[in-house]
Amino acid sequence: MSTQSDSPYTALKTIFHEPNRLAIMSALSCAAGGLAFSELKQECALTDGNLSRHLKTLEEARAIRIEKTFVGVKPRTTVFLSDDGREQFLEYLKALQQVLQKATASLETTPST
């Protein structure tokens, strides 16, 4: 008998399950040196306001870190996946993979009505 703690569904954290935050975390996972705000905005097809709101949520969860610097006189915001965020996101992806495999297997073996 399966307990709730054995269920992969419990590891599907809403912090990452929201589509825009999933896109942000996925993009950052592929960028060891972080991404500039403008690059992340373009990669995820978000507005400045939407990206800022999602970054704030992820930063509060310690999934990312934000570094503000200047390039000459221009401000530059760079976003990095934090070590904690990397671990949390990997756990989330593994749980999501289990859930998707289970659903796929069920759909492939169950005849449609």
Cα end-to-end span (Å), the chain:
29
pTM of the model: 0.86
> Among candidates 80, 91, 82, which has minimal Cα distance to 13?
91
Query: Quick one: fold of 14-104?
Result: Arc Repressor Mutant, subunit A (1.10.10)
pLDDT tens across 52-76, in order? Answer: 999 999 999 999 999 999 999 999 9
Token pair belonging to 61: 């969860």
pLDDT reading at 1 higher than 70: no
Domain ranges of the chain: 14-104
> Among candidates 48, 22, 49, 38, which has minimal Cα distance to 71?
38
Residue with tokens 């992340």: 40
pLDDT tens across 9-48, in order? Answer: 887 888 999 999 999 999 999 999 999 999 999 999 999 9
Task: Return the pLDDT at 28.
Answer: 98
Is 26 within 8 Å of 64 (Cβ atoms)?
Answer: no
The CA-atom distances, in angstroms, between 81 and each of 62, 86, 89, 101, 108 are 9, 6, 9, 27, 36
pLDDT tens across 81-96, in order? Answer: 999 999 999 999 999 9
Token pair belonging to 110: 């169950």
Band of residue 2 on the pLDDT scale cut at 50, 70, 90: very low
